Amino acid sequence: MDKNVVEKVKNINRRTLTVITDPPGADLFVNDVFQGKTPVSITYKAGVKDMWSGFVVVVQKKGYLPIRRKVSYQKKSLNFRLIRIRRGKRRRGFRPPGPR
């Protein structure tokens, strides 16, 4: 039997997922388990449940809105652009409507 075929069959359930965020340094969670700070590549074994239903990826960074996505196990890379949370600053010269 060809060695390459045996290796492919042996590693059929091993996957690598690369996650990149803009800005970098966000916390990455896969199925509620911390995996590291982005950018990061993780290698995992996909079980039957993962192949059927996929998994949940959460990316979060202080000062930015968190992102939660359900991902197919077939995905090899994910790119996220994080959205900064704006603090409620009042502009100079702005007066809310109403009696004074």
Average pLDDT of the residues in 5-25? 76
In order of start, what are the domains of the chain with their CATH numbers? 3-77 (2.60.40)
pLDDT at 94: 56
pLDDT, tens digit, 9 for 90 and up, residues 86-96: 876 555 655 55
Structure tokens at 71: 């991902």
| Whether residue 38 has pLDDT greater than 70 | yes
- Residue 97 or 13, more confident: 13
pLDDT at 73: 80
Strands across the sheet containing 55-60 = 33-37, 27-30, 55-60, 67-71
- Residue 47 or 100, more confident: 47
pLDDT above 90 covers a percentage of the chain that reads 49
